[in-house]
Structure 1
Amino acid sequence: MEKSYLKTNTDNDGAGDSSSGPTFSRRAYLLGAVGTLTAGGYLSTSIDTAKASTMSVDVPKSYLDRFDNVVDVVDVGADPTGTEPIEDIISQHVADDTLLVFPEGRYLMNGQVRKSGFSNLGFYGPNATLTHGSIESLEKNVVSSGDFTGAARFFRLGVIYAPGRDLLFEGFTFDFTAPQTGLRAIEAYVTDGLEVRDITIDGEHDTGTLGPALFSVTAANGSGVVERFKAPDGAAFTDDTIGDINLGPTGMLIDPHSAGTLRIVDCELGRFPDNGLYVSGANGTVHVEGGTYKNSTVSSIRLKGYHSSVRGANVIIDDLVSGISQRGIRLDDGSDLRIEDTTITVTGPAEDAIRILNNVETATVKNCSLVLNDDGGCARGIQLTKDAGRVEILDSSIDIYGSEFAVYIQGNNTLDDAMVLMQNVSITGTAPGSSAREALRIERANGRFENLTVDQPGDEYRRCAEILADDNLFVGGTYKSNHHPFVNKGNRTRFDEVSAQSYGGWQAIKLYAEGTDVVVMDSTLYGGYIDKGAEGFTVDNTEMPPA
């Protein structure tokens, strides 16, 4: 008959400590078909007759198979009523090849649990709620008075100079619903094997200290996943709290040292004062897959890295903060950055739905939908800064209802300007031309615009495109606007097989003297064109029906 055995615990530094309470091997648990866990308490007692704890947790069998030791934290003394703090008990049982299981209940922590240099460590609590003691004052992310003491974190698992390997952290709710609550729920540095799932931050983080999550995969060949991490209530600005962190917390921070590949899957972040999801270093790769990101300051998603991406996300800005920049997605640094199959909805005068900055070498926006609503003003759709690299905007739609640019392409207007390719993009909506007259503003040379559909019936001189840089090519496409569809001041602009028409009866193209050697081929220009002195203008095989 198989026997069950108690195992001696190791403390946070790996030293033996038999006085800290029992840790059971997997053999000491009764396992049902779904892996229900009940702790046995007798040495050398048959599993079939082992005394069961009153607490039980359905633990996936794969997790039980993965770890040598499985600890029911209540059985080793953790209070599940939220009355007595548990951090000392938890710290005593954190060890390699160990899964700490939290039965259903409420658990109080008055200090952080820290473990570095670990191997195969797990925390599992699908019905466990964690709270912290009172915080009366903070100084540089350390609680200086209150029931909680020390660094403003629940769990610090690995550090940059001693990361862990293979971490599971799953199923917890952190209760920040009371006033003056909110700490970093989890900070994790691992070389490889990061798994964080089903974490909920309930309530606004309103202490003005570290945001709820920081993750780092420190090895270039390492990987990790964060699934269904949800903090929908966001955080307060520091000025409204007792804390001193600059501006306010970030929702989920990817450490600048992260060098591996990290997937962020189906997560949800509400408004955070200093970015929602912030990939702060360009050494690794981060893939954002699905999820909802709303109203954060600076950006709801801020991305860096090589081959990093946002796919299938829903980004919303509908709660503006006066005097603060708010953007949907900001691409900061790296190459082959991609935004695909993503919806961005902005209501009011936020800054940009998408901004692409100078340190981006290459980027693609594909199969995306941008909706820019006017509520006392309107956001820009996609903005490229002057020295951003090659950008492709493909198979996407932009609906714009306020007087702003749907796409604003900044550049230096030199031969060295990286090309922008726009292909199969539609720009629609009733945006007026009261302040930003054109939907598409081009200040960069070498652009190519293929098969665009631009329909801008809004009043006050709304236009489709203003071309202020050289060597831009328009191939195919339909352009309709209240005023002139095209205004050109660039040299060597070429239009092939385009159709352009003004709803207001204006000419299809207005040519300024600054733009020389413009060519129109095989096109249809309703109302013809107006020439303000452009030299070298050529029109060939082009129809000019009445406007």
Structure 2
Amino acid sequence: MTGDRSSRRAFLRRGAAVTLPAAVAGCQFRDETPETTTPDRDQTTDSPTPTTPTSRERLAAAYDDRFDEYVDVVAAGASPDGSEPIDDVLERVVADDTLAYVPAGTYRVNSLRVEDVSNAGLVAESPAETSLVPGRPAVDIGHQFLQFHGVSDFLFEGFTLDYRASGAGGATQVFSRGDFAVRDLRVRGTMPDESLPGNPAAFRFDVREESATGTVEHVVARDGGHDGGNAVGLYVGAAHAGTLEFVDCEVRNFPNNGLYASAPGRDDEALRGRDGTVHVRGGRYANNNIANVRLGSTDSTARDVTVVVDERPPSHAGAMNARGLRIRNRSGIVVEDCEIRIGEDAGEGFGGLVFHPNAGTSTIRDTTIRVDRDDTPAVRALDDDAADPSPGPTFENVTVTGSAAGGWAVEIAGRADVAFEDCTVSGTGPGRNGLSFTACENCVVDGGEIDVPGIPVRGRRSTVETLDVRTGDALDSEQ
């Protein structure tokens, strides 16, 4: 076996430095030596003749010689024209200490299942020209398209998953017992969720070892699901116990969450998760119903993420709730340097940034939330227990803005120790109010500015202190 675990982890997390398109896809090795005249016959030279590296040589260089074997799946028997399913070939060649590489082409897969391999990979040699196409309808394969279970030190990179045929689609799953990296995948076509039971997810990722890390980078799924369907874009299961990183992904138009990553943090009779951490870095999540990004495990983060709802997303069973970012459970979650936009044509929803009653302490920092849909809050913390408020979030240098008319820009209910520090809350729509606290204790608005046509700050059965806030109106407090 080549290398040790620490070097593999460093490789798996290296990301764009060795991503396949730059490293191997369509590589052209051009001789940059200027032209010279033809030498005399009696001249000799000791310079070697340039040669074009083989696929194996290019891949070995791109992946730091970490594999013992490099297998061309076509040479191993896979049909590159989609004429025959290649499941049996892949199940044979995706093996320990082996990189299976797939030349350009269209490959038919019925329902692939790879289990218990270590230091293994399946990569497209030419990502822009390599597609995997379901050979059977999703209903016939139980929605299980690509399954990689019990894997460790695993790579899956560079494919288009083509779901454009009627009824085509299914889940891509990675359940790991060690590190893994999934990069540069694109879904073309809509998930066939109108014909599938439950909550079918285009992708599911679980790191089931506490010390392991999974990286999901540049996964693009823009076509989403159907109105009336129930598809999820990216799902993290309750069994996730390690660390997951979602980097620069793009997920749009799913009726049941874009990135649904709160299940590991559940701890109730209905579901007990293993509280694995999830970090979202960069990316764009747009027009997904229920939540575009949904976090809920201890110390999870969202940084440099863009969330947009500017049209009515597809919804399941008429359940429209077009939230931007939702914090569902646990404490220690950080949202930083993010942008959340709720447009005037967005579907109805609880707000741009929404805290479930079970959500504990969190920090929202250097983030902008713009709401242009009337009567929709930018921030909403739902009531936990008015008789015994639990600690709530802290907001630092957060900007709330937009043209929404009516309602409150910020609604906090049943929370204690909520702090707004150097935040700006503004709005131009008629009847738009600032911050509302209901049944809250020991809350503070410290510094910053509130500029709204209506009431700047209101407390109802709450203790709220305002310090050095730039606004012309005083606190409106009714006990």
TM-score range, shorter chain: 0.7 to 0.9
Taking the TM superposition and a 5 Å limit, the aligned residue runs for 1:85-484 are 85-109=85-109, 111-125=110-124, 126=127, 127-135=129-137, 138=139, 143=140, 150-158=141-149, 163-184=150-171, 186-208=172-194, 209=196, 210-237=200-227, 239=228, 247-279=229-261, 280-282=263-265, 283-321=275-313, 323-348=319-344, 349-374=348-373, 377-387=374-384, 389-402=391-404, 403-411=406-414, 417-433=415-431, 438-443=433-438, 444-457=440-453, 462-480=454-472
Q: 1:486 to 1:418 in 2, by over 3 A?
A: closer
d(CA) in 1 for partners of 2:477, 2:54: 78
Corresponding residue for residue 34 of structure 2: none
1:392-411 deviation digits (Å, cap 9, x = unpaired): 01101111322122110101
d(CA) in 1 for partners of 2:451, 2:53: 69
Q: 1:37 to 1:121 in 2, by over 3 A?
A: farther
1:323-377 deviation digits (Å, cap 9, x = unpaired): 5111011101121101110000001343210111222221011100011013xx3
* Cα distance, 1:207 vs structure 2: 4.2
* Cα distance, 1:468 vs structure 2: 0.9
Q: 1:357 to 1:389 in 2, by over 3 A?
A: farther
1:151 alignment partner, SS class: coil
d(CA) in 2 for partners of 1:178, 1:200: 16
Answer whether contact 1:37 1:57 (CA < 8 A) is retained.
no
d(CA) in 1 for partners of 2:25, 2:459: 67
d(CA) in 2 for partners of 1:37, 1:473: 62
* Cα distance, 1:54 vs structure 2: 11
d(CA) in 2 for partners of 1:397, 1:298: 23
d(CA) in 1 for partners of 2:165, 2:25: 33
- Unaligned stretches of 5+ in structure 1? 1-33, 39-47, 144-149, 240-246, 412-416, 491-547
Match for residue 477 of structure 2 among 448, 471, 488: 488
Indicate the structure with greater strand content: 1
Using the size of structure 1 for normalisation, the TM-score is 0.70
- Match for 2:264: what amino acid? G
Using the size of structure 2 for normalisation, the TM-score is 0.79
Q: 1:59 to 1:303 in 2, by over 3 A?
A: same
Instruction: With a CA cutoff of 8 Å and minimum separation of 6, indicate the structure with the bigger relative contact order.
Output: 2
d(CA) in 2 for partners of 1:441, 1:260: 38
Indicate the structure with greater helix content: 2
d(CA) in 1 for partners of 2:295, 2:342: 19
- Match for 1:380: what amino acid? P
* Cα distance, 1:276 vs structure 2: 0.6
Of 354-363 and 365-374, more deviation after overlay is shown by 354-363
Q: 1:94 to 1:151 in 2, by over 3 A?
A: farther
1:150-208 deviation digits (Å, cap 9, x = unpaired): 332232111xxxx2211100111111233332211x20111221101111112222344
- Match for 2:312: what amino acid? L
Answer whether contact 1:55 1:103 (CA < 8 A) is retained.
no
d(CA) in 2 for partners of 1:325, 1:337: 22
* Cα distance, 1:378 vs structure 2: 4.2
1:310 alignment partner, SS class: strand
**Do residues 84 (structure 1) and 84 (structure 2) align?**
yes
- Report how many aligned residue pairs link the two structures: 403
Answer whether contact 1:345 1:372 (CA < 8 A) is retained.
yes
* Cα distance, 1:314 vs structure 2: 0.4
1:92 alignment partner, SS class: helix
- Match for 2:339: what amino acid? T
d(CA) in 1 for partners of 2:253, 2:159: 21
d(CA) in 1 for partners of 2:207, 2:157: 17
- Unaligned stretches of 5+ in structure 2? 1-22, 28-47, 266-274, 385-389
* Cα distance, 1:424 vs structure 2: 0.8
Of 310-319 and 57-66, more deviation after overlay is shown by 57-66
d(CA) in 2 for partners of 1:172, 1:35: 14
1:73-93 deviation digits (Å, cap 9, x = unpaired): 111111111222111221222
Taking the TM superposition and a 5 Å limit, the aligned residue runs for 1:507-518 are none
1:198 alignment partner, SS class: strand
d(CA) in 2 for partners of 1:477, 1:37: 58
* Cα distance, 1:37 vs structure 2: 11
- Match for 1:422: what amino acid? F
Answer whether contact 2:437 2:462 (CA < 8 A) is retained.
no
- What root-mean-square deviation, in Å, do the aligned CA atoms of Structure 1 and Structure 2 show? 2.5
Answer whether contact 1:373 1:401 (CA < 8 A) is retained.
yes
2:159 alignment partner, SS class: strand
1:205 alignment partner, SS class: coil
* Cα distance, 1:312 vs structure 2: 0.3
